[in-house]
Amino acid sequence: MVRLALSIAFGPLHGFSVHGFTARCFWVCWLIALAEIACAQDPDKAAQTGNSQEGAAAAKHIEILFEDPERRALRGELVTQNPRYGMLIQTPDGELVALSPSTAIAKIVSLDEPMKPTSTNEIVEKTLGLLPAGAKSITTEHFVICYDTSETYARWNANLYEKMFKGLMRFWKEKGLDLQAPRFPLVALIFRDKDGYVEYSKRDFQGAEHTFGYYTQTTNRLATFDLTGIEGVLPAGVKLQREELLGEIFSRPEAERQIATILHEACHQIAFNTGLQTRLGDNPLWLSEGLATFFESADPRSSTGWAGAGRLNAYNLQQLRFYYRDRPGDSLTSLLTQDDRFRKGDTSAAAYGESWGLTFYLIKKKPKDFVSYLKKLRQRPPGNPSDAKQRLEDFQDSFGSDLDKLDKEFGRMIAGLRP
């Protein structure tokens, strides 16, 4: 889940609770208030969050001094403000900080110079402080990976992230949609074991023991742990070669879903930092999760584990075909307008499968219309979600008013797919 939420559980929920239904419920509740902040504000004062350079130029750079002398001053860009709900600030390292109306503020100073993003070295230092002592970092072209697992495993993740990043950029450029370089480094934390990961996650949500990882829009960070389960088992000083590590990962029955989990959340992080989608923007859940499932396909035969952009997602195809046995006639309309289907344990797997299928169909059969639809949504200011009526109008404006015809074409395409 992603849209207006502040945090996104890692990857789609799969029946037996591998990826985190609890986390999804958490972030939805968290963000409702912030969405209301932006909805109630003067739209002329809205500032674009994320990596947008245009939005950054228009954002008001301020410093907030608090009455509590022990509390450090807060500098950042004012994203939105409302007397009833408070303020939302984007800091120089890309985090979003919410201040309630009851916050004791002594003074707000307008700063003349635009906000300068935090340096990569400073972000590394800050992020390392979130991991156990002795943690290390890897900096790639677009990512900062901080880890206390083996370097081999961390570098495998880093290579996977970069390959996906470049694959997505190339894919959308070929479709006529130019994305932007991230304004802030994309930060990922990798813990050596699940206990460390769960302990870290408590600052964001409860229930991480049922997840493989997650990404939060507030911190703009991704967190996961060593999915091989071998850290701490190897004798001291023993190092695995990359090929041995990949063999360990790929030899397991759950490998495809574990790798898909990493890819799924990396896609969310990339989408929200390149302008494909707007952080806290008008992003229906079917679209956000459809994009992530479209790009999450894993391939244990690949040297990195990623099958590539837009490959057939066998898992979600299976989920969708199972759902089609008793699929209601209004399923397409409810998918487009009702996010709740993703948040309920008995409907989430089908919702993810259907969102993947719809996204796959639209990108394959109506690519120009899909790009037009993405452009329409990303132009809207953050925190301004559409109601059901507007969602349908947006979809029909881009893909045609005859939903029954589209739904039948969608069904025929899915029926003809072969894993």
pLDDT per position as a tens digit, 128-174: 999 999 999 999 999 999 999 988 889 989 999 999 999 999 999 99
The single-letter DSSP state of residue 298 is B
Q: Is the pLDDT of residue 17 over 50?
A: no
Q: Are 332 and 358 in contact (CB under 8 A)?
A: yes
Rounded Cα gap, residues 405 and 361, in angstroms: 13
CATH superfamily of this structure's domain 7-32+119-416: Collagenase ColT, N-terminal domain (3.40.30.160)
Q: Which of 91, 129, 150, 82 is nearest to 383 (CA)?
A: 82
pTM for the structure as a whole: 0.84
Res. 240 pLDDT band, cuts 50 70 90: low
Joined together, the tokens standing for residue 288 give 């956000």
At 281, the pLDDT band (50, 70, 90 cuts) reads confident
pLDDT in tens, 49-75: 445 555 555 689 999 999 999 999 999
**Mean pLDDT across the stretch 22-51?**
40
Q: 105-110 and 96-99 as β-strands: parallel, antiparallel, unpaired? A: unpaired
**Confidence grade of residue 343 (pLDDT, cut at 50, 70, 90):** confident
Beta-strand ranges (E) seen in 200-302 are 213-216, 221-225
Nearest to 409 by CA among 352, 355, 366: 366
Instruction: Of 340, 311, 335, give the one whose Cα is nearest residue 323.
Output: 335
* Predicted confidence (pLDDT) at residue 214 exceeds the cutoff of 70: yes
Q: Which of 10-14, 263-267, 397-401 is the least confident region? A: 10-14
Q: Is the pLDDT of residue 344 over 60?
A: yes
Mean pLDDT of 21-33: 38
- Out of 95-99, 121-125, 135-139, least confident range: 95-99
Q: Is 80 exceeded by the pLDDT of residue 310?
A: yes
CB-based contact 32:6 (threshold 8 Å):
no
In the sheet that 221-225 helps form, which strands lie side by side, from edge to edge? 7-9, 213-216, 221-225, 186-191, 143-147, 136-139
pLDDT at 69: 92
**Proportion of the chain above pLDDT 70, given as a percent:** 79
Average pLDDT, the chain: 83
